[in-house]
Amino acid sequence: MLPDDSPIRQGSGQRTDARKDPRLDWWREAKFGMFIHWGLYAIPAGEWKGEKIPGIGEWIMLRARIPVAEYEQLAKQFNPVHFNAAEWVSVAKRAGQKYLVITSKHHDGFCMFDSKYTNYDIVDATPFGRDPLRELAAECQKQGIRLCFYYSQTQDWHHPNGDGNDWDYVEETKDFDGYIENYVKPQVRELLTNYGPIGLIWFDTPKRITEAQSRSLVDLVHEIQPACLVNGRVGNHIGDYASTRDNVIPADLLDLDWETPATINHTWGYKKDDEDWKSPTELIQKLVDITSKGGNYLLNVGPTAEGIIPQPSVDRLLAMGEWLAVNGEAVYGTRPGPIQGQEWCRTTTKPGKIYLHVFDWPTGGQLRVAGLGQKVSGAYLLADSSKTPLLVSSTPDGIVVAGPSSAPDAHDSVVVLTV
């Protein structure tokens, strides 16, 4: 059991025996994924009937208590003609992201895939008439990115028996079990049958789902695709790995498989007035901070109703990709390093190497490192392809590495210590 103040939320837990499950090996290696929140909510983009609706963009239907009959009309306008699966996947690829998790159905209930079980889907209800998940599946195969689906299993504000809509329907009289059995499960089956191999299903906001229902969803996923992972928000502590609270990075290393889902500004679904983007340095340091504590970073983009990933998001992702192209060795496939809890640095490790990620480069470049617990045989800058040795000297409490006098990298300068 996790303590009450754990950054891993109760109900977002994982199997206690999952830590060694080889099904998670690709995901443990990956470290960095792209989250995509895309749906009808990109049309109002945070504004309803001329009024700004506070909160995250994809919650606008609930926040503004928009009746189903009105919200449904958005589908007739949804025509993302600029959507280009090859471009989206290529952004993820160039950013150094190894998997992509896209909303197949969010809480608003609109299906971004062709489903036999409803006409409220992108193929049947919009002028666009294409299935973007099918196009993404083909591109992911081609470009070597793992395709994964977000699916809101509990909340569905459109379905009369789904959870959450108490302005059109009466919560107490809903047949939630019928909704799970006759709608959620058949749709999960479609998602796992029609799009090739799926890396993971990202369920969300478990709320009223019972342990038996969570269990049967996990079993269903594993029955159709045994390798497909299930995140902890399926509910009741039975996912393959845990998700932290949104945008929360734990203070310490956690010895379990976990992931931080995070926004690049302050919303998941596109909002036209949210222009407060995290800087490339912040994003790179968050990725490294998370990696150094054993987690994965699932970083979100919210494409527009035209099908475009906002340029400021693309710019930031590509900046991360540039840094990773040089320093990826110190991120992918690493485990948490021996030094934890320092402000100025983070550490990751692979057999025979400790990667010292320096966030605050000391004036003069003398890096004082204590607490490694291992004998260091040499040091060089990861960005230096000729691996010019840096002078290492011992002190009573550790070592001093003589680096360049100013920071070699503005985001995070990585020093390789060979041990």
Nearest to 356 by CA among 327, 325, 397: 327
Question: Does residue 198 belong to the site contacting ligand JFZ (CB under 6 A)?
Answer: no
Residue nearest to ligand JFZ (CB): 245
Cα separation values, 220 from 95, 180, 189, 226, Å: 33, 12, 8, 9
CA dist 277 → 274, 285, 297, 381 (Å): 8, 15, 17, 30
Q: Report in angstroms the alpha-carbon separations of 33 from 246, 285, 380.
A: 15, 15, 29
- H or E element, residue 30: helix 25-30
Rank residues 132 and 206 by Cβ distance to ligand JFZ and give the closer one.
206
* Cβ at position 285, least distance to ligand JFZ in Å: 21
Q: Reduced to 3 states, what is the DSSP secondary structure of residue 296? A: strand
Smallest gap from residue 204 Cβ to ligand JFZ (A): 5
Least separation in angstroms between residue 266's CB and ligand JFZ is 12
Dig out the tokens for 276 from the structure.
């407060």
14 and 216 Cβ atoms separated by less than 8 Å? no
Site mask for ligand JFZ (CB under 6 A), range 4-43, x = bound: -----x--x-------------------------------
Structure tokens at 34: 């792209």
Comparison of 154 and 348: residue with beta carbon closer to ligand JFZ: 154
Q: Residues in contact with ligand JFZ, total (CB under 6 A)?
A: 11
Beta carbon nearer to ligand JFZ, 206 or 310: 206
| Closer to ligand JFZ by Cβ: residue 12 or 347 | 12
Q: Which of 108, 163, 204, 412 binds ligand JFZ (CB under 6 A)?
A: 204
The yes or no reply on residue 156 touching ligand JFZ (CB under 6 A) is no
Chain residues 48-67 in contact with ligand JFZ, contact rule CB under 6 A: 56, 58-59
Q: Burial of 372 by CB count in 10 Å (0-12 exposed, 13-18 middle, 19+ buried)?
A: middle
Residue position matching structure tokens 């550490």: 347
CB 362 to ligand JFZ: min, Å: 36
Q: Which is nearer to ligand JFZ, 58 or 156 (CB)?
A: 58
Residue 222: CB minimum distance to ligand JFZ, A: 23
Q: What does the DSSP 8-state code read for residue 163? A: B
What is the closest distance, in whole angstroms, from the C-beta atom of residue 284 to ligand JFZ in the complex? 21
Smallest gap from residue 252 Cβ to ligand JFZ (A): 18
Tokens of 166: 């108490």
Q: Does 245 bind ligand JFZ (CB under 6 A)?
A: yes
Per CB under 6 A, the list member of 113, 120, 149, 268 interacting with ligand JFZ is: 268
Each residue of 178-204: b (16+ CB within 10 Å) or e? ebbeebbbebbebbbeebeebbbbbbb
Should residue 163 be labelled a site residue for ligand JFZ when binding is judged by CB under 6 A? Answer: no
342: left (phi over 0), alpha (psi -120 to 50) or beta: beta
Radius of gyration of the chain from its Cα atoms, rounded to whole angstroms: 23
Three-point CA angle 263, 269, 272, nearest 5°: 100
For residue 290, the minimal CB distance to ligand JFZ (Å) is 16
**Single residue of 21, 72, 87, 246 touching ligand JFZ by CB under 6 A:** 246
Tell me which of 118, 205, 210, 340 binds ligand JFZ, using CB under 6 A.
205
Using the rule CB under 6 A, is 261 a contact of ligand JFZ?
yes
Is 139 one of the binding residues for ligand JFZ (CB under 6 A)?
no
In contact, 32 and 297? CB cutoff 8 Å: yes
Q: Shortest gap between Cβ of 197 and ligand JFZ (angstroms)? A: 23
8-state DSSP, 242: E
Is residue 89 within 8 A of residue 41, CB to CB? The reply is no
**Considering the complex, what minimum distance in angstroms separates the CB of residue 360 from ligand JFZ?**
30
Residues found near ligand JFZ in the complex (CB under 6 A): 9, 12, 56, 58-59, 204-205, 245-246, 261, 268
